[in-house]
């Protein structure tokens, strides 16, 4: 069964399906406080992407504050890109709060400290897991991991692994690739489009994880992951059209994130059971 998602309130959306347009409208209205425990490379771009999207970023990532802050945040991102000892403890605190959180298992499988931490954090059941195919395979215990931040497998290669992880957490799993794949225990969505230039800007994927955390404050995990992927696809396509290279693309991408309208997301994602 294939159901086109819709942004129009007058069009009936099947119960249980995703409404990314509605999610974006709610995000803009609520401006959810989004806590990011993320890597040193992408903090600035991530915060700017969240601001452009309409969320309120806060990079509170020290032990003794991270757990308390997670209690008042609307969504939390735990990205394992450069997990210092303090960040590891902050992540443990933050996932203990009842706030929905996103796990981005950067380079898990390839490197031991983050791999052990990711497995430990899984017990706290992330609402959404977002990674490339290599990372999702490694997290599920199937693959050996990539060579760091590069995906060396296609998104669909990780479909079974993603489904298994979703069954284990009860949440959603998003596999980034040329076509983004998003699953929960029962449903599958593919979000095509976007621009390859996004892979030439550091933090394009990491900021997508942060956007999923922001959406998780106003939507169920499956819908949140879809909405963020759809926004990324629209904004990156538009940004690419006027860019001369990766530098101007990154700037235009932030401009376009701020300009995406809920209705732009209509028909961007197809839910399959």
Instruction: Give binding residues for ATP as ranges.
Output: 130, 176
Question: By CB under 8 A, is residue 111 in contact with a second copy?
Answer: yes
Distance CA 5, CA 22 (A): 10
Distance CA 206, CA 48 (A): 12
- Interface with a second copy, residue 261, by CB under 8 A: no
Name the strand (E) or helix (H) holding 43: helix 43-53
98 or 245: CB nearest a second copy: 245
User: What is the 8-class DSSP label of residue 143?
Assistant: S
Binding-site residues: 59, 130, 176, 203
Q: Report residue 14: phi and psi, to 5°.
A: -55, 140
Q: How far is the CB of 175 from a second copy (least distance, A)?
A: 20
Judge whether 227 and 24 are in contact, CB under 8 Å.
Answer: yes
- Given 24, 47, 133, 211, the residue binding a second copy (CB under 8 A): 47
Instruction: Pick from 120, 186, 247, 273 the residue near a second copy by CB under 8 A.
Output: 247
State in angstroms the smallest separation of the CB of 192 from a second copy: 23
174 makes contact with a second copy (CB under 8 A) = no
Is residue 218 close enough to count as binding a second copy by CB under 8 A?
no
- In the complex, the smallest distance separating the C-beta of residue 273 from a second copy, rounded to whole angstroms, is 38
* 188 sits near a second copy (criterion: CB under 8 A): no
Which is nearer to a second copy, 69 or 215 (by Cβ)? 69
> Computed from CA positions of residues 142, 143, 144, 147, in that sequence, does the dihedral angle turn out positive or negative?
negative
Q: Which residues are annotated as a binding site for substrate?
A: 59, 203
The interface region with a second copy, picked from 14-22, 56-64, 126-134, 261-269 by CB under 8 A, is 56-64
Closest CA to 243 of 231, 256, 233, 230: 256
Provide the token pair at 117.
């931490």
**Interface residues with a second copy (CB under 8 A)?**
33, 39-45, 47-48, 51-52, 56-62, 64-65, 68-69, 72, 81-86, 107, 110-114, 147-150, 200-203, 243-248, 250-259
């Amino acid at each position: 069964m294939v159901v086109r998602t819709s942004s129009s309130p007058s069009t009936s959306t099947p119960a249980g399906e995703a409404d990314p347009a509605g999610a974006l409208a709610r995000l803009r209205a609520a401006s959810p406080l989004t806590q990011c425990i993320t890597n040193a490379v992408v903090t600035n771009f991530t915060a700017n992407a969240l601001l452009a999207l309409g969320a309120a970023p806060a990079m509170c990532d020290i032990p003794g504050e991270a757990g308390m802050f997670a209690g008042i945040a609307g969504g939390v991102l735990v990205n394992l890109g450069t997990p210092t000892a303090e960040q590891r403890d902050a992540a443990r605190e933050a996932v203990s709060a009842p706030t929905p959180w996103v796990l981005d298992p950067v380079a898990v499988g390839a490197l031991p400290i983050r791999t052990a931490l990711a497995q430990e954090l899984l017990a706290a059941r992330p609402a959404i897991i977002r990674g490339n195919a290599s990372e999702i395979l490694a997290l599920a215990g199937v693959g050996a991991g990539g060579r760091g931040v590069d995906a060396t497998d296609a998104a669909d290669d990780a479909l079974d692994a993603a489904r298994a992880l979703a069954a284990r957490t009860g949440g959603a799993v998003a596999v980034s690739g040329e076509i983004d794949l998003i699953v929960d225990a029962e449903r599958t969505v593919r979000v095509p489009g976007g621009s390859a230039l996004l892979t030439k800007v550091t933090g394009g994927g990491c900021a997508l994880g942060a956007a999923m955390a922001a959406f998780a404050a106003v939507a169920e995990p499956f819908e949140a992951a879809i909405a963020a992927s759809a926004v990324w696809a629209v904004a990156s396509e538009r940004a690419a059209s006027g860019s001369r290279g990766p530098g101007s693309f990154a700037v235009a991408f932030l401009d376009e994130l701020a300009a995406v309208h809920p209705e732009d997301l209509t028909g961007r994602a197809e839910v399959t059971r």
